[in-house]
Amino acid sequence: MDTAYNSVWVYEYLEKLTQCSGLKAHHTEIQELHRAFREVVYDRRYYLVAQRMDRANENRGLSGHYELLRSSALQLIHLGEQLEALGASTSASDETVERTDSASVEKTRAEINNQIRRGIVIAWAGLEDLNGLITDELEGDKARKPFWQQIADKRFSPADYREFEKQLEDWIAGRQPEHEDVQGHGFQLTETQKRLIRLNVQRRHYLVALQQNSSGVYTVDQFLAAREQGVSFPAPPNADVVINGSWERTLAPADELAAPGTFRCPCCLELLSDTLLSDEGSWRSHIYEDLQHLTCLVPGCNVQEAEGFITAHGWVEHLTTGRRINEEYDRFEALERGEKNPQAVAKEPKTPHVDIEVCPICQWRPAEECPDPAAMFTHLKSELLYFALLSFPWALKPPYNLLAKGAFESWLEHQKGLEGLNRESDEPSNGLPGVGPVETQS
């Protein structure tokens, strides 16, 4: 059975789990498992990679992981049916449960619940392994640029973005602590800051290329103004869902003819299914893939995928282990082709990048009395996302004005407010920001 079909098969079984009335006591855990599988496989558009792998008769060992999830789901469904039968009337007894008295019934119920909890743990472990393999595939597949991006690379001229580059330099200078001499010669861009600026200039170039090649987003007059007069394109439909995290459906000129149940992504400008917005994890994964803003921040790191990860998992793994996914895949594919002496994977040892003590953008550091290692990752995720948002030409103009003084602080406070709203609600919310809830540091 091919990989793409396997993923559909498992998804259907997990969906049945969420509907099993006998598993009501475990509904939250099962719902999270279902949502996580959807985010791992579908919302990161992994099914496209799966289809390519199937055509090439590649498997990468995924079938075993899918089978583990499928069998775990089947077992949980069976256990849920047992619980449901146990709670039914005496005439609807289960074949495997002897209902003699209330004490034995409670004992049996406790045993089944323990089996359910173990089954959920096993399913989560299988999903974690699958997530790791899929992350590898996605990070490796990222190197294969689409055709429009290859054309954009050939047309790239740094001179076209000198003004934007200067805006980014001034913005970083303005984010430095007050004691830094940013007006005189005391402030010099670090190599990491220079790389972040270079990547954002490249990101701006890609976003402009997407706007110029989009269909059904802008009017003919807007295209002519951009081409002949150099006028920037206005914000696309649904821009607020990326910048502010607020969802208010808007239509592009041609979207009235689009299929029902779709919306236009303000990043990639593609029509996507509304189901992508059913939970924040799904939308966050899509934004991460579009922006590729999560980059390695260690000076001198020349790992190819460090230019921009498409998954938070791949980014954190690289920072914590120094792993080089693309280089591993180059060696693996060389061995698959039968090459006798494939190029070695990075002669120097893998070095964890956990020694980032200060934020390279604003010089923030975790409180000395509470040096939580995760605090820096959380802070960097917010900083890198906001910095990537500056690459949208329309985001620097009203109503967003992201380069304005205090704009970052206001944006961050807004994300904290959304986090509070999300915690108060048990239901997944629509139109959440690209980063999802922002963890805060004191």
pLDDT of 56: 46
- What is the C-alpha to C-alpha distance for residues 34 and 13, in angstroms, rounded to an integer? 9
| Predicted confidence band of residue 313 (pLDDT cuts 50, 70, 90) | confident
Tokens standing for residue 72: 């775990």
Half-sphere exposure of 284 (CA within 13 A, CB side): 23
CB 83 within 8 A of CB 109: yes
**How would you label 275-297 residue by residue, b for 16+ Cβ within 10 Å and e otherwise?**
ebbbbbbbbbbbbbbbbbbbbbb
- Tokens 């959440």 correspond to what residue? 432
**Highest mean pLDDT pick, 45-49, 65-69, 95-99, 353-357:** 65-69
Tokens standing for residue 124: 């989560």
In this model, does residue 45 exceed pLDDT 90?
Answer: no
Contacts of 176 (CB under 8 A, 6+ apart): 182, 187, 362, 363
Residue 262 DSSP SS3: strand
| Predicted confidence band of residue 97 (pLDDT cuts 50, 70, 90) | very low
pLDDT of 298: 78
- What is the C-alpha to C-alpha distance for residues 359 and 150, in angstroms, rounded to an integer? 32
| Predicted confidence band of residue 31 (pLDDT cuts 50, 70, 90) | confident
* Mean pLDDT (whole number) for 166-185: 78
Tokens standing for residue 61: 């060992």
77: how many CB neighbours lie within 10 A of its CB? 19
Cα 403 to chain centroid distance, Å, stands at 25
The helices-and-strands tally (H runs, E runs) of the chain is 15, 2
- Tokens 């979207």 correspond to what residue? 255
Range from 24-38, 174-188, 339-353, 388-402 carrying the lowest mean pLDDT? 339-353
67: how many CB neighbours lie within 10 A of its CB? 15
| Predicted confidence band of residue 3 (pLDDT cuts 50, 70, 90) | low
Residue 218 DSSP SS3: coil
Q: 130, exposed or middle or buried, with CB in 10 Å at 0-12, 13-18, 19+?
A: buried
In this model, does residue 428 exceed pLDDT 50?
Answer: no
Say what the pTM is.
0.62
pLDDT of 396: 96
CB 42 within 8 A of CB 11: yes
pLDDT of 128: 79
| Predicted confidence band of residue 370 (pLDDT cuts 50, 70, 90) | low
In this model, does residue 75 exceed pLDDT 60?
Answer: yes
The H or E element that residue 263 is part of is strand 262-264
Range from 269-278, 317-326, 432-441 carrying the lowest mean pLDDT? 432-441
* Mean pLDDT (whole number) for 209-233: 84
424: how many CB neighbours lie within 10 A of its CB? 7
Residue 269 DSSP SS3: coil
pLDDT of 285: 79
Tokens standing for residue 162: 């000198």
| Predicted confidence band of residue 107 (pLDDT cuts 50, 70, 90) | confident
pLDDT of 173: 94
